[in-house]
C-alpha cells in the first residue's frame, strides 16, 4: 500500500502557528484582555512574532525566474489599482460614505501598525507555506491556502449563525466570503510566483484604501461580490498569462491561456446568474414553461424582465406579474386598461389563449416588463423540470 507523504515538520509548525494566532485573536484575547491594549498592542505583537518565526526559517523563493519576479510587483500594483478603480466606479452608481476610522495623526500611526503587522505576518507565512511545498506551478495548493487565509481573515463575529436565514447566508457569501476568498486567491498566486512581496503590495494597497481613504464606496452586498470576484479573477488571468509568456514564450503561444480565461468567464458568469436570478439587479431572466404566449414567446425561451414603473405601462406591453396563490409569475400581454375605485388595472391575455385572464392585474402585482426574448436557451431547464415533475 502506498503511504501518504506528509508535509515537512516545519511546514506543519507554521500551519499550527497560524491556527494558534487565529484562536488567540478571536478566542483568547476577547476573554482575557479587552479594549485598546488587546487590539492595538497584543494583537500586532502576535503577528510580529509570527513574522519573526517565518524569517528565522530557511528562506523559500517563488517559482518565477529572477527576471520575471521583478515585474510581479508592478503587476500586483496594477491589479490593486484596477480593483480600487472598479470599486469607486461602483460607488458612483450607488453612493459613498465617510470612513469611520480615525484620521488624527496618532490614529493614522496606530492603524498603520495594526494593518501593517497583520499583513506582514499573513503574507510571509502564506508565501512560505506555498513555496516550501511547490517545486513547479500548481493550482490546488494556492486554492487550499486561500481557503485557510480566508478563514483566518474572518473574525468569528462575522460568521453567519447556523440557524440563520437563507438571506443571511447569501449576503455573507456575497459580501464577506467571496471577495475575501478571491483576494486571497490572487495573493496566493502572486506568492507562488514571486514570494511575499508582490502579495504584500497587492493586499497592502487594498488595505490602505479601505483604512485611509476619507470616503469609501457604500456598496450593497451584490455589488461587493461582483467587484470582489471580477477584479481578482481578471488579475489571476493577467498574472498567469504574463508569467507564462515571460517564462516560456513558445509554450504561451501554444496554449493560449484558454484554461485560465475560461475560469474567469465561468466565475463571473456564475456570479451574474446568481445576482440576476435573485433579482438584485433591475433586470431578471425568466424561463418560459408555458405555451400561452405563442407565437410571440415559446416554451424554452428566456424572457428578460426589467423593473418598470407600472404607471408607464401601456396596452400591448408584455409584462410579468404575480397572481394570488400562484407559485410562478405569469408572462402575458396587456390588452386593455381599466379603472376601479380610482386605481388603474391591467387586463391581460396570453397571445395563444382564447379569452383574457379571469382577474385584472393591480400595480403591486407587476414584476416588470419583458424587454427582450432570447429563443430556446432555456429548453434544458424546462426538460429537467418535466423529468422531475
Could you tell me if 171 and 312 lie in one domain? no
- Of 258, 277, 296, at which residue does a domain stop? 277
Domain shared by 26 and 87, yes or no:
yes
pLDDT of the residue at 56? 92
Residues, the chain, total? 389
Higher pLDDT, 65 or 262: 65
Alpha carbon 122 to chain centroid, angstroms: 21
- Mean pLDDT lowest for which of 85-94, 144-153, 344-353? 85-94
More confident: 151 or 68: 151
Residues with Cβ within 8 Å of residue 293, at least 6 apart in sequence: 318, 331, 332, 333, 350, 351, 352
pLDDT, tens only, 160-194 = 666 655 556 666 776 678 889 989 999 999 999 99
Phi and psi at residue 319, in whole multiples of 5°?
A: -125, 160
> Is residue 3 in some structural domain?
no
pLDDT band of 2, cuts 50, 70, 90: very low
Q: Does 263 lie in the same domain as 289?
A: no
pTM over 0.75: no
Indicate if 111 and 258 belong to the same structural domain. yes
How many domains are contained in the chain?
2
Mark whether 230 and 321 lie in a shared domain: no
Range of the domain at 299: 285-388
Q: Is 4 inside a domain boundary? A: no
Strand partners for 370: 305
Tell me the mean pLDDT in the region 54-60: 91
Grade residue 387 by pLDDT with cuts at 50, 70 and 90. very low
What proportion of the chain, given as a percentage, has pLDDT over 70? 80
Residue with grid cell 415533475, as numbered in its chain: 389
Mean pLDDT of the chain: 82
Highest mean pLDDT among 53-67, 148-162, 166-180, 197-211: 197-211
- 272 with 295, same domain: the answer is no
The confidence score (pLDDT) of residue 174 equals: 65
The CATH number for 363's domain is 2.10.109.10
Contact predicate 226/105, CB 8 Å: no
Rounded to 10 deg, the angle between the 105-133 and 178-194 helix axes is 60
Say if residue 315 is in the same domain as residue 172. no
Calculate mean pLDDT across residues 321-334: 86
What region, left, alpha or beta, does residue 222 occupy, with left being phi > 0 and alpha being psi -120 to 50 degrees? alpha
pLDDT confidence of residue 267? 56
Amino acid at each position: 500500500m502506498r503511504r501518504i507523504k506528509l508535509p515537512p515538520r516545519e511546514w506543519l509548525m507554521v500551519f499550527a502557528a497560524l491556527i494558534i494566532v487565529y484562536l488567540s485573536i478571536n478566542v483568547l484575547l476577547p476573554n482575557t484582555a479587552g479594549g485598546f491594549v488587546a487590539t492595538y498592542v497584543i494583537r500586532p505583537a502576535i503577528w510580529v512574532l509570527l513574522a519573526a518565526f517565518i524569517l528565522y526559517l530557511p528562506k523559500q523563493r517563488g517559482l518565477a525566474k529572477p527576471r520575471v519576479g521583478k515585474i510581479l510587483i508592478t503587476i500586483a500594483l496594477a491589479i490593486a489599482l484596477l480593483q480600487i478603480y472598479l470599486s469607486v466606479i461602483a460607488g458612483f452608481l450607488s453612493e459613498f460614505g465617510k470612513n469611520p476610522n480615525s484620521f488624527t495623526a496618532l490614529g493614522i500611526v496606530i492603524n498603520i501598525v495594526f494593518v501593517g503587522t497583520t499583513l506582514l505576518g499573513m503574507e510571509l507565512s502564506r508565501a512560505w507555506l506555498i513555496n516550501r511545498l511547490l517545486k513547479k506551478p500548481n493550482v490546488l495548493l494556492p486554492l487550499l491556502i486561500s481557503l485557510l487565509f480566508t478563514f483566518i481573515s474572518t473574525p468569528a463575529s462575522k460568521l453567519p449563525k447556523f440557524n440563520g436565514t437563507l438571506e443571511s447566508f447569501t449576503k455573507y457569501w456575497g459580501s464577506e466570503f467571496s471577495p475575501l476568498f478571491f483576494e486571497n486567491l490572487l495573493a496566493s498566486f502572486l506568492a507562488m510566483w514571486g514570494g511575499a512581496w508582490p502579495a504584500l503590495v497587492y493586499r497592502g494597497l487594498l488595505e490602505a484604501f479601505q483604512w485611509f481613504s476619507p470616503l469609501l464606496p457604500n456598496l450593497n452586498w451584490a455589488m461587493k461580490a461582483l467587484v470582489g470576484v471580477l477584479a481578482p479573477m481578471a488579475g489571476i488571468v493577467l498574472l498567469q498569462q504574463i508569467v507564462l509568456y515571460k517564462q516560456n514564450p513558445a509554450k504561451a503561444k501554444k496554449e493560449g491561456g484558454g484554461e485560465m480565461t475560461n475560469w474567469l468567464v465561468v466565475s463571473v458568469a456564475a456570479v451574474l446568474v446568481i445576482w440576476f436570478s435573485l433579482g438584485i439587479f433591475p433586470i431578471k431572466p425568466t424561463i418560459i414553461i408555458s405555451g400561452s404566449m405563442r407565437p410571440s414567446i415559446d416554451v424554452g425561451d428566456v424572457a428578460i424582465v426589467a423593473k418598470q414603473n407600472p404607471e408607464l405601462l401601456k396596452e400591448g406591453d408584455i409584462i410579468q406579474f404575480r397572481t394570488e396563490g400562484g407559485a410562478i409569475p405569469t408572462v402575458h400581454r396587456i390588452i386593455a386598461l381599466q379603472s376601479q375605485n380610482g386605481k388603474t388595472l391591467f387586463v391581460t391575455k396570453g397571445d395563444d389563449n382564447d379569452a383574457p385572464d379571469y382577474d385584472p392585474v393591480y400595480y403591486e402585482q407587476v414584476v416588470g416588463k419583458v424587454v427582450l426574448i432570447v429563443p430556446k436557451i432555456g429548453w434544458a431547464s424546462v426538460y429537467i423540470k418535466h423529468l422531475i415533475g
